[in-house]
Structure formats: structure tokens, C-alpha cells
Amino acid sequence: MTRTKLTRRAFTGSLLATSALSACAVQTAPAKAHVVVIGGGFGGATAAKFIRLEDPGIAVTLIEPKSEFVTCPFSNYVIAGFKQIGEITHNYNALTGTHGVRHVRDIAVAIDPATKTVRTGSGQSIRYDKLVVSPGIDIRWGAIEGYTEAAAEILPHAWQGGAQTLLLRRQLEAMPDGGVVALALPGNPYRCPPGPYERISVIAHYLKTTKPRSKILALDAKDAFSKQPLFQDGWNALYPGMIEWVPLNKDGRITQVIANERTLVSEFGQRHRAAVVNVVPPQFASKIARDAGLANPDGGSAGWCPVDPITFESTRIKDIHVIGDASIAGAMPKSGFAANSQGKFVAKAIAAALNGRPAFAPVYANTCYSLLAPDYGISVADIYRATPQGIVAVQGAGGVSPRTPADAAQFRHLEATYTRGWYSSATREIWGT
Amino acid sequence: MRSVIATAAFVASLLAGAAAAQAQQAAPIPGSVLAATCSGCHGPAGRSVAEIPPINGRTEQQLLSAMLDFKNDRRPATVMNRHAKGFSDDELAAIAREISANWR
């Protein structure tokens, strides 16, 4: 006990109140610094691992209440019935066992930048030298009138992987042939720009193969969307007459739900009653980031967190880096791929800062694959550089899959194959050994 | 039609070159930084186990010529042509050096 106390005192003081660490601390040299990561998704789990790879002398604590993470990418395929939830569920064993990240299974409830501590739900106070905040999104409950947590048990959002994913799956399974599946889709920005349209596509695939008289009605708060011509070409080819997409300018924006009647109400009062209703609601940065003052309080980007384009350090609070969907990352979309890319570069930026090395210019990347059917894939890709104007896509590079490639069937087949390849590689890199 | 595509590709390469040149006025970006996102699809250390081709265990020359061919649309591609155009030739060379030397 005395020995543990001495060891703790020898620590730089940054690791106070970390009882679980003592076993490791007794045996190894004191860490040069302590980085705390909030959130174990694509951004946070990547950052935690890569900080350890950049410099094993830096101690890393991951604060994440869950023992297993269900990814939002690929959850559309669980909803459509061609993936099982177990195939998109990952644990933190490699992160803790192989990479020496300490996992505190608790929720971060407050950040105090003055004392550089994170307080957890169970009352732990964890000190940091640098903090990475990668908490993802929260639903803006009530932004659509009547869309509450209780309403989401009847009209699932399924925009966070897990129970909501399975709820929407069960509703589709229970729906009789000939039913209408209605979706209410949000304005920008939101998590995974092509995600709603991939969901429409793979639900159509499920309905075509099992309940072919059914229809899909997509009510959108936007007039345009990611990879739109590619999606609409695919819908016409694969699911003719099955999908109706209603844009903003045709009164597509949903402003109210009546949950117990499974009814969506548009801005101008049209009512759409459906057998299954999926609401992809307006979102903002998760609570911990907003409560800490990391998010913009007002303006067009209210609720999202502004960051330095090179280091992803918050422009509002020093020594706190915000990555992933919660951040405002310029031209980069809110995607798992982007968060993974940001996690690697924030690890480099933090390791450089803690070792007194200068920062460097990052080159971010993104590739968002979408499946329109299990054998039909499309993509959008970009390379991004940090400029004085923020993070911008490199002109002349990137872009979407060609609309009319020479051998279209083979091209879409290959991209469907690479969709699965990306998921396998990315999740192995983040949560694998 | 062919000349339209060729012209578009030429203009695109000029634009990409300009952007890359602008980015390079600062110190050259190390290969370890430039190559960091490759593993997002090709897997840790480039050892893809799924359908995406692995990129570990290749020579610098193999990697560089493949990336230059993607960049200049001399090699069939789905997405690598779109990625390769985001880097200058020198940057692609740095990526090839990094991966051939350190990704096993």
C-alpha cells in the first residue's frame, strides 16, 4: 500500500485518483503525460490506440461506459437483414490488453478545464494533460415536435447502433406485405450524409425480396443529398416504382410526429401515416461536449464544436481536442472513416506537443461507401488539407463513383466488395488486435 | 468524347498539382504522415485480410508506379484514382518509401 502511494506521488500528479492503474504503474516507469479520451467509437478508440503507438511513454485512459461498441456503419445491413448485430459489435480487449489503454467503464459527466479534470458518473475525478473528446452525436429531442425518447420506442431513429437498430429491424420483419415504410430525413449537417439514402436502398432490397408490394416514402428536409444521381440511378434500376423521395421544396420537411398513430406531419400540414416510421432526427454534439462549452452556442453551427484544422484542438478551450462527428471539420463529413482519419492525426499532434516537437501539416482522407444492394456499391472519396481557410478538399482529386462506367455491373460489384473490405480493415485497425 | 475526358483529366491534374504545390511551400510532409490513412482500407500495416488488396511487402518501385498509374488514369481503378490525384508525385514517392520500408 505504501509502495503504491509512493509510486503515485512519483507520478507527475496527472494520474491521481486512478486506482486501477496502480498495478501497471508499480512495474513501469512513470508516464511522461496522461491523455484522457472520452468516447470509444471510430474517433476515440483510434486516438487512444494511436497515441500509445506514437509514444508508449504516454499513459492513455479511455472513458467509455459500454463494454462493447455497435457501429453505426453497417447497421443499415442489420436493419435490412443481411448482417447480424454480432458482426458489427466490437470490444476493447485489444485496446486494453495489447495497447495498454486503461478503460474506465463509466460515463464522463463534466469537464473542468481549470483543474484539467474529467468527472465521471460514479464520482471519479480523472486528471488529464491533454483531453480528446470524441463523444459522437445526441438526438435533438423535441426539435421535431413530439419526437421524444418515448416516441423513439415507437418510431425508431436507429441512428446510433444497438437497441434502436434491432427495433427498426423487428418492425420491418413484422410489417405485412403492401405496407408503407416512411422515413423523415434531416437537414445538414448530420452524422453520415449518405446514410439515410443507403438505408432507403437496403430496406428496398429487403422489401423487394420478401414483401414486394410494399413502398418506401422518404420525406426530406433537403433538396439535394450525397451521391444523389448515383442513388437515384440505382433506385430506378433495382427498385423501379418502389421509392418515392419528397424534397424540401415539395413539402418534404417533417416538423411534427404523432407517435401512437405512426404519423408524420409536414411543415405545411400534410399527414403521412405508415406501417413503419423511421425518423432520422436533427442532431448535435453529444451532451458532454456541449456542457463543457466546447460547442458553438449560436449561429449556423450551434451545437457543434469548432476546432483548429491542424490539431483538432478546440478553439474554445485549450488542451482539449474534439474529433469525430461532434467536431466542425470543414469539408470533412461526419463519417466513421473521417473520425478514424482524425483520430490518427490528433494522436500525432498530441504526441508531438507532449514531446516538444513542432506540429506538422496533416493530410486527411475520407471514403464513404454505400450499398444499394448486397452486390451494388457506390462511393465518395476525398483528400483534405488544412489551410488558413480551414480543412478543404483537394481540387481535382476525390469525388463520387462514375455514373456510367464501362462495365457498370462489375464496377458496382467491386465497390460492394470494397465496402466490406473497408469495414473489415477499419474495425480491425480500431478494435482488433 | 475521348478528348473531352483527356482535357478534363489534364485540367484536373493541373488543379491537383497547384493545390499540392501550394501545400508543399511549407516543409515537405513526412511519408509516415502522408501514409497514415492508407490503413483505413488496406488494414493495419497494409495487411488487408478482406477483399481489398494488401499493400505490405511490396517494393518502393511497385508501390510508386501503381500510384502514379492510378493518378494518371493509366490503370483501372474504382477509388484509388480519386485518392492518388490528391497528392503530388513527390508525396506519392514518400508514401511508397514509407510503406515499403515500414509496413510489414
CB contact under 8 A, A399 and B82: yes
Chain A interface disruption, residue of B5, B14, B37, most A CBs within 10 A: B37
For residue A104, the 8-state DSSP code is E
pLDDT band at A295 (very low <50, low <70, confident <90, very high): very high
pLDDT single digits (tens) A62-76:
999 999 999 999 999
pLDDT at B4 over 90: no
Q: Where are the domains positioned within chain B? A: 2-102
pLDDT band per the 50, 70, 90 thresholds, residue A388: confident
**Per-residue confidence band for A28, with pLDDT thresholds at 50, 70 and 90:** low
Among A94-108, A109-123, A274-288, B24-38, the least confident range: B24-38
| Shortest alpha-carbon distance between residue A417 and chain B (Å) | 6
E strand or H helix that includes residue A408: helix A408-431
**Residue A367 is nearest to which of B11, B16, B41, comparing CB atoms?**
B41
Minimal Cα distance from B16: which residue of A? A396
Q: Which residues contact A197 (CB under 8 A, 6 or more apart)?
A: A225, A226, A227, A228, A231, A370
Query: For residue A433, what pLDDT is reported?
Result: 62
Integer Cα distance of A143 and A156 in angstroms: 15
Size of the A and B interface in Cβ pairs below 8 Å: 128
Those of residues 7-36 in B touching chain A at CB distance below 8 A are 11-16, 18-20, 23, 26-27, 29-30, 33-34, 36
Q: Report domain extents, chain A.
A: 2-138+284-359, 141-281
DSSP string for A266-305: ETT--EEE-SEEEE---EEE-HHHHHTT-S-SSSTTTTSE
CB-neighbour burial class of residue A248 (10 A; exposed 0-12, middle 13-18, buried 19+): middle
What pLDDT does residue B25 have?
53
Residue type, position A128, single letter? Y
C-alpha cell at A271: 399527414
* Domain B2-102 architecture: Orthogonal Bundle (1.10)
Mean pLDDT of B8-13: 45
Fold identical between A2-138+284-359 and A141-281? Answer: yes
Report pLDDT digits (tens) over A35-47.
Answer: 999 999 999 999 9
**Dist. CA A288–CA A420, nearest whole Å:** 32
Give me chain A's average pLDDT, please. Answer: 94
pLDDT beyond 80 at B1: no
Q: Are A44 and A134 in contact (CB under 8 A)?
A: yes
| A126, pLDDT greater than 90 | yes
Smallest CA–CA distance, residue B12 to chain A, in Å, is 4
Q: Per-residue pLDDT tens for A317-328?
A: 999 999 999 999
* Alpha carbons A259 and A281: distance in angstroms, whole number: 14
Instruction: Tell me whether residues A383 and B49 touch, CB distance under 8 A.
Output: no
Q: Cβ contacts (< 8 Å) between B27 and chain A: which residues?
A: 360
CB contact under 8 A, A428 and B40: no
pLDDT band at B73 (very low <50, low <70, confident <90, very high): very high
Whether the per-residue pLDDT at A292 is higher than 50: the answer is yes
| pLDDT-above-70 percentage for chain A | 93
On chain B, the residues whose CB falls within 8 A of the CB of A362 are 33
For the domain made up of A2-138+284-359, give the CATH fold: FAD/NAD(P)-binding domain (3.50.50)
Asked if B50 reaches chain A (Cβ–Cβ under 8 Å), the answer is: yes
Are B82 and A417 an interchain contact pair (Cβ–Cβ within 8 Å)? no
The answer to whether A420 contacts chain B (CB < 8 Å) is: yes
What would the mean pLDDT of A336-343 be, rounded to a whole number? 98
Put simply, whether B103 touches A (Cβ < 8 Å) is: no
**Close Cβ partners of B40 (under 8 Å, ≥ 6 residues apart):** A337, A340, A341, A365, A367, A422, A425, A426, A429
CA distance A152 to A130: 36
CB contact under 8 A, B18 and A395: yes
* Torsion angle defined by CA atoms of residues A294, A297, A302 and A304, in that order, rounded to the nearest 10 degrees: 0
Q: Which CATH number fits domain A141-281: 3.50.50.60, 2.40.50.140, 3.90.550.10, 2.170.190.11?
A: 3.50.50.60
How confident is the model over B21-70, as pLDDT tens digits?
Answer: 444 456 899 999 999 999 999 999 999 987 899 999 999 999 999 999 99
> What are the tens digits of pLDDT across the range A163-216?
999 999 999 999 999 999 999 999 999 999 999 999 999 999 999 999 999 999
pLDDT surpasses 60 at A13: no
- The per-type count for chain A, helices as H runs and strands as E runs, is 11, 25
Q: Would the pLDDT of B17 be above 90?
A: no
Cis status of the peptide bond prior to A189, with omega within 30 of 0: yes
